[in-house]
Amino acid sequence: MARRELAATLDGRRVTDLVPPAAGEPMRDYAVRATGELMVRYLAQGGDAPAPLARPPL
């Protein structure tokens, strides 16, 4: 996921707004969980769709 794709996924929100940490959750565990949840959201928005092919000139 590129930076612009991450920015689109977050839509102006902070990561912690979109994926809040659980009470007492260790930082490492939160980082892994938040990364996974962001990737799922990205893929659900069609982030894995192939880029359109360039059309040959006429």
pLDDT over 70 at 6, yes or no: yes
CB 9 within 8 A of CB 47: yes
Q: How confident is the model over 11-56, as pLDDT tens digits? A: 899 999 999 999 999 999 999 999 999 999 888 888 766 555 556 6
pTM value > 0.75: no
Res 43: pLDDT = 87
